[in-house]
């Protein structure tokens, strides 16, 4: 129990809250690991000739699906690297879980699309067409994920609401 001489730590005051810094770190790890898996897979597929002479088309599809979010995460992490002291900003765990779940689903969907192409289509041209078709569901999900992550990575709100 806190007394007048002992301030309450905002990180431990509410069990339903979590430090924004922790949230950003965990989401960054998810995105870096998930994206690394996707990149390694596509590099392997590119070198193995899976996409024949259409390798550039695969990369043209892939890079816009991952790079905007990865760039935002790295930019915020770099900006926060120069801050002195730990951040006292906290967020609700439920929103963090939603953002984490959406991110995991998004990254999993990208992996699924890439891994399933050969199972559905033998011809490379059909695989490339399926990549473009997948933007019909990946694009809207990317917007939702970007919105959730944008709140957690780009928010300037302080604990006092300033």
- Tell whether the torsion through CA atoms of 107, 27, 155 and 72 is positive or negative: negative
Distance CA 142, CA 127 (A): 21
Task: Delimit the domains of the chain by residue range.
Answer: 17-80+90-154
pLDDT of residue 162: 46
Mean pLDDT, contiguous 10-residue spans, the chain (162 residues):
45 76 94 98 94 94 95 89 74 95 97 88 86 93 95 68 47
pLDDT at 120: 80
Main-chain phi, psi angles of 33, to 5 degrees = -70, -50
The pair of structure tokens assigned to 47 is 């070198």
Under 8 Å between Cβ of 101 and 34: no
* pLDDT tens per residue, range 30-39: 999 999 999 9
Bridge partners of residue 84, in order along the sequence: none
The pTM (predicted TM-score) of the whole model is 0.83
Rounded (10°) CA dihedral 63, 119, 136, 48: 10
Per-residue pLDDT, 39: 97
Q: How many beta carbons lie within 10 A of that of residue 71, not counting itself?
A: 10
Q: CA 135, 155, 91: angle at the middle one, nearest 5?
A: 100
In angstroms, rounded to a whole number, what is the distance separating the alpha carbons of residues 66 and 114?
A: 14
Task: Pull the structure tokens for residue 118.
Answer: 């050969």
């Amino acid at each position: 129990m806190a007394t007048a001489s002992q301030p309450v730590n905002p990180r431990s005051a509410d069990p339903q809250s979590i430090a924004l810094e922790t949230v950003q770190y965990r989401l960054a790890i998810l995105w870096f690991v998930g994206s690394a898996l996707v990149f390694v897979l596509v590099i392997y597929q590119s070198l193995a000739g899976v996409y024949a002479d259409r390798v550039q088309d695969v990369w043209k599809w892939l890079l816009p699906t991952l790079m905007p979010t990865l760039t935002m995460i790295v930019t915020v992490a770099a900006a926060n690297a120069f801050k002195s002291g730990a951040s006292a900003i906290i967020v609700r765990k439920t929103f963090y879980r939603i953002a984490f779940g959406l991110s995991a689903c998004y990254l999993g969907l990208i992996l699924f699309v890439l891994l399933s192409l050969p199972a559905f289509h033998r011809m490379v041209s059909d695989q490339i067409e399926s990549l473009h078709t997948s933007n019909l569901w990946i694009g809207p999900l990317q917007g939702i994920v970007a919105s959730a992550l944008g709140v957690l990575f780009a928010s300037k709100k302080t604990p006092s609401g300033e």
